[in-house]
Chains A and B, each alone.
Chain A
Amino acid sequence: MSDLNLLNRVRAFIDTEADMLDFEEYNAWLDLWTDNGVYVVPIDPKETDFANTLNYAYDKAEMRKLRVARLQSGEAVSTQTTEKTVRQLGRFRILAESDTHVEVRCSMYLSECRHGNLKTYPADVTYKLLKADDEFRIDEKVIRLQNSDAYLSSIGYIL
């Protein structure tokens, strides 16, 4: 039962994060992270050495802040033409748990509507969550898009 309890708490946390991103509550999203947390969208889904590899995104705290500022500034034309994202996360599985961290894998189906065209990005997402009192903080989020090793189109939001 304790595992199910943990799973439910993790799901609630990740669903809240997804909702924040779909509804563009980016400042609240920034607060979900640890100071040293890393947000990664790798090209090769098998890659594990993200720091020494080219990724689509490799954001530490400063870059996450800049990415949010760019989305909110209205200066980037590509961020103005994606009307809304809708994402659904499921298939949650706890991969590891320690006194301080929980590692979780789940699936994500994200659809975007850009210039009236609907496009879907399925992905496997892994989280390393820091246990912080009764809550969690994101220490690492890795989004492995199903087509990451082929080619993408512009992504004017946060996956």
Chain B
Amino acid sequence: MTDMIDIKPVVADYDSMIKPDKVHSSLYSNPEIYEEELDKIFNNTWVWVGHESEVPDVGSYKTAMIGRHSVIVSRDRKKNLHVLLNRCRHRAATVCEGKKGKTKSFMCPYHGWGYSLDGALRAVPKPEEYEGVFDKSEYPLVSLRFETYQGLIFATFKEDLEPLEDFLGGAKKWIDLFIKQGGGYPLKVLGDHRFRFPGNWKIQLENTTDAYHFPIVHKSFVSSVDDQTAEVFDFLDGEGFVEDLGNGHSVMVMIPELVDLEEDLDAPIPERFQALAEELAAEGHSDLEVRRLVRAVGGSGFNLNLFPNVACSMAFFRTLVPISVNETEIHHVALGGEGAPAAFNQMRIRLHEHFQGPMGFGTPDDAEAWERVQKGSHAGTEEWILLNRGQENLSTSPDGNVAGAVCSETGMRAAYQQWKKMMTA
């Protein structure tokens, strides 16, 4: 009973709720903790808002969420990026609806205040009533600090936060590897699957670094692929590993031979990509280019989990949007190569559809498990979520990081230590 904690007032006692080997169940279900997470985590760190290829042209925009804040990522007339709060400076109405598109300006639907792509307030109806009240230059859309790394755009509310590259730290090496899956072409977003599940956002955060569930939850997916591919996905007893990269980030290498997609280009072409290789060759692509494309088409052999809201997950970006303490929206963002052969991008899209999204052969089973986690976590008054797998089987990686077996819970422990650090700061 030494582990029993008083739920009220919990919001200050995180030290007792995050142990090195377990976390308290109320982290999934206490609405006060959830509200504090939005303040202390999502308002205080680098949050992924998109990829540069989603806003390629002058006038391109997309919307995103940073915790409870709706934001617009836009590209202005000089091709500069902006991350803007999606609220009119007058009475707060959103000035942009929808997921993405192209526009010349952002117009508030309520009183017609018009903003340019860089957020500047350009026009207000009845300007004479504001004479002597304010100058338009005082009321642009609120602009957030943002930085990019390899095309990934992160924004923050915190002006004095460390530079993005320092925050990413050991994760940068893995982002560099991840973007090679354009097959020699710049990485490009090809669309996304969006779905919600009735569970806390951290359940999804954990899942991206959870290899242990794969053969159980995804049995039906493995049954749907050829024997050679099934063997590739049978990685729990392999040479993979999980590495704590610091700042809550971790990498889970499931298929070590697919870490660097520009290596081993002379490896035999897998059976399932043979037809693609023949199609590309028939189109006149050189043998080297065919091999580069085929090797990249299935994605990387690892999941890079970036705290708190995005993962570079094998072949796609996974981002999570907390909706409430017990509801989360997930986006599975499909990737391809800008200017790459159509057959390559088509194959990547088909592979994404096969596993991901609400009608995929994988995601719905994940979502079922997560829903059951949320439901089950309400049972009991002093129960815990275990994070202790592999904690006695750790080593130091060549990069000097704590590492465990591929099915260890090393990545989850890393994320929760960062969670505790931020919640107790």
Contact = CB atoms under 8 A, between A and B. Distances in A.
B220 A73 contact: yes
A54 B368 CA distance: 23
Contacts of A78: 364-365, 367-368
Nearest to B350: A58
Interface string A139-159: 000000000011111111001
Which of B220, B346, B350, B353 lies at the interface centre, i.e. has the most chain A CB atoms within 10 A of its CB? B220
Nearest to A158: B359
A97 B276 CA distance: 36
B365 A66 contact: no
B195 interface: yes
Given A52-B342, A151-B194, A76 B364 contact: yes
B121 to A, nearest CB: 30
Which of B219, B363, B365, B367 lies at the interface centre, i.e. has the most chain A CB atoms within 10 A of its CB? B365
A78 B367 CA distance: 8
Interface string A37-77: 00001010000000111111110000100110110010111
Interface in B184-222: 190-197, 217, 219-220
A55 B195 contact: no
A138 to B, nearest CB: 18
A81 interface: yes
Contacts of B75: none
A81 B197 CA distance: 14
A127 to B, nearest CB: 19
Given A66-B361, A153-B195, 17 more contacts: A43-B193, A52-B342, A53-B190, A54-B192, A54-B193, A56-B357, A57-B359, A58-B350, A70-B220, A75-B219, A76-B219, A79-B220, A79-B364, A149-B99, A151-B329, A154-B358, A154-B363
A154 B193 contact: no
Interface in B223-237: 223-224
B191 A155 contact: no
A88 to B, nearest CB: 21
Contacts of B358: 56, 152-155
